[in-house]
A and B are shown apart, each in its own frame.
Chain A
Amino acid sequence: MNDKKIVAVLCDHGCRNGSKIKYDELKTNLKKSEVIEDFLLVNKACDSGVEFLDAYKGRKILFGGCSLLEERGIYSKIKERLGLKNGEFRSFDVKADLYDLYPDKVNLEELLVCKILSMGTLLYHAEPYEEERIKPAEGILVYGDGITALRTARALAEEDISVEVLETGEQFLSPGLFSQHFGRPDQRGLSSVVSADERRKSERNRVAGFKNVRFLPSDAFLSFETVEDGFVFTFKSGEKRKFGTVVIAPEREEEQSRETGALNLTDLYGKIVCGEPLKGEVVFLLDYAADTSPEVFKDVLLAGKYIKRRFASEVRILMKNAKVSVSGAQELYDECREQGIIFFKYLEDLTLKNNYGDFEIEGTDLYTGDKFLIKEPDILVIPGRSILSPRSKNFAEALELLTISDRYPQPDSLWRLPNETNRPGVFVAYPTGDNSIASLLFSVRARLSTAGIAVNEHIPVVDEDKCVYCLTCVRVCPFKAMTTDSESRVAKVLRTVCQGCGSCAAECPAEAIQLRNLTGESLYQGIRALG
């Protein structure tokens, strides 16, 4: 352990106007602790220089300020000036995480002492470390032979990126998705309707014309393993190839819903293209059988906006979990609200009654808590499920991608872009038009151009003497960052894959795993210091 003591600095400007914190008392209380060497108070740290810290070179610094300091880069200035390594500096937002949480009359000195001691303890136990960056390997593999896979390959090839396309060889095609086959609702035109198969063939010829695209024969891949900078695929020919980035391009199929009397999105697009009037009350029911993907939600918003504008219908969108995480969807959502489309966010209790095509929807709104009842809407649209084609499903399972109940990759998560998966380096090209390919390209380019993937501060460190090779960590890791070393019989961490959540450290029965700079011992002491 390193015995450098902590210098705690607190900025006191504007965070709490007219505060009457007794700093002398604070200082004496803090100095009683073993970990705090000194306590400084700065006024307006965001404007003053960082020179006042020069006297404290060689100590660890704990800085409490507001978010402005982070924005103005004061923290990085301090780190640079004092030559602090990672693990020797820590900051906390004293305004958002402390002052704002408590009522005015509370004893702030006591709370501040607790907070500083707790954070200080964590910092005291932290070991300095050099930041590592690992560059992903170069190759890109696109899996799939539908129109989405081909378009993705072409978009990459046009940017002078070498691509290899691994075909599934099963010609599984979506029966007819509007945005692929007709264009967007407001740029429609029946003349542009070309059959899906023809589109695919012409696209394949175009893609094959690129020099930097190589088609791998279907069913050629045998096994793969994850390494720190990508994936090593073994092919049936015995060839081994390393790819830093994998794009999986599923096709989408919608369930036929004609029997029920409700429309799916494809049916609705068909009606729009044929110019059928969509008047009266139009209701979209999302997240009903399975969660709606963000890309589909965007399509629904587009269609809803079009119907509202063109036919002045009453449009209602019922949703539960749909997210606006696709680029442009938030603006579209706001626009829809402005135009008078009504959104309901329903709770679990939604019931849908179908009386020979006359629907009755009953549920409770999350925000108002009111019950709503929609009776016999003129048109009810339930976007169908989206599924992976059987081979893509196997491929996704081999890569250990998380799939939702209907086998479409990824349960939605607010924190991830829609084309990202739980395995860093594996992306999904959604079969929903050019938008999704553009956002995919953005992610892929970001991965290719990075100077290397930074290794998370809190990566797990495995104590090889304690590890009993029970593989609990391998099972619990949500990102599949834990692998095994069968020779030495200990668990191994793939440093680029780990995101530092600590699930493995919490579950390890032998307590052999500790997170870097967040060890169990320091956590216990940090919590204890709150007392």
Chain B
Amino acid sequence: MEESLLIIYCSEGGRKALQKMSSEGFRLPSGVCTFELPCTGRINDVMLMETLQNGVRGIFVAGCREENCKYLDGNKRALRRIKRIKKLLSDAGIEGKHIEMQTFGPDEGKRLYSAINDFAGKVGVS
């Protein structure tokens, strides 16, 4: 997983945005792996920390747009949790930039594409 990027997406909005992205002709950078969860609300500290520890350069989480989570507030919980983990990471001397979460509607393929590319640029994966 050296020099790679992990995208964790939820099986609702995140997945639809990803498919919209591919149907619009945008492609993921190589070196990006994807992993599906029922809801981004399932993400927890251990999962993210372990993944980073295993050598992934960055984790990008794509959830449903706020107010549109199928599970009501899973995405908001995840956003809060990730904010906290970012702070923990920067306290530990690792920059918080290696984890990012954004929310997407099912029609926002292009925005997802540019968000992933921006993130890949930030953590240095091409």
Q: How far is the CA of A321 from the CA of B105 in the complex (A)?
A: 11
0/1 string, B1-43, CB within 8 A of A gives 1: 1001010000010010011011100011010011111110111
Judged by a CB distance under 8 angstroms, whether A518 is at the interface is yes
Given contacts A506-B43, A530-B33, are A101 and B22 in contact (CB under 8 A)?
A: yes
Contact A527 B23 (CB under 8 A): no
Is A377 at the interface (CB under 8 A from chain B)? no
Q: Which of A400-419 contact B (CB under 8 A)?
A: 402, 411-416
Q: Which of B46-54, B87-95, B118-126 contacts A (4 or more CB under 8 A)?
A: B46-54
Residues on A with beta carbons closer than 8 Å to the beta carbon of B67: 291, 321, 411-413
A101-B28, A102-B28, A413-B67 known; A528-B54 Cβ under 8 A: yes
Query: Chain A: how many interface residues by the 8 Å CB criterion?
Result: 45
In the complex, what's the smallest C-beta–C-beta distance from A225 to chain B, in angstroms?
Answer: 21
Chain B residue at minimum C-beta to C-beta distance from A106: B30
**B35 in complex: contacting residue of A100, A502, A518, A526, CB < 8 Å:** A526
Chain B residues near A458 (CB, 8 Å)? 38
Determine if B68 and A100 form an interchain contact, defined as CB atoms under 8 angstroms apart: no
Please give, as numbers and ranges, the residues of chain A lying within 8 Å of B71 by CB-CB distance: 478-479, 499, 501, 503
Q: Is A520 an interface residue (CB 8 A)?
A: yes
B99 within 8 Å of A (CB atoms): no
B73 within 8 A of A: yes
Residues of chain A with a CB closer than 8 A to B73's CB: 478, 503
Does A118 count as interface, using CB distance less than 8 angstroms? yes
* A56 is an interface residue with CB less than 8 A from chain B: no
Q: Is B77 an interface residue (CB 8 A)?
A: yes
Verify if A107 is at the interface (C-beta below 8 Å from B): yes
Residue of A nearest to B55 (CB): A531
CB-CB contacts of B58-74 with A at 8 A, as 1s and 0s? 00000000011111111
**A–B pairs, 8, beta carbons within 8 Å:** A97-B15, A413-B69, A413-B72, A415-B69, A503-B74, A524-B50, A527-B51, A531-B54
Q: What is the interface of chain A, defined by CB distance below 8 A to chain B?
A: 96-98, 100-103, 105-107, 111, 114, 118, 291, 321, 402, 411-416, 422, 458, 476, 478-479, 499-503, 505-507, 515, 518, 520, 523-524, 526-528, 530-531
14 further contact pairs, Cβ within 8 A, besides A416-B70, A505-B42: A100-B19, A114-B33, A414-B68, A415-B12, A422-B72, A478-B72, A499-B71, A502-B37, A502-B39, A503-B77, A524-B51, A527-B6, A528-B54, A530-B1
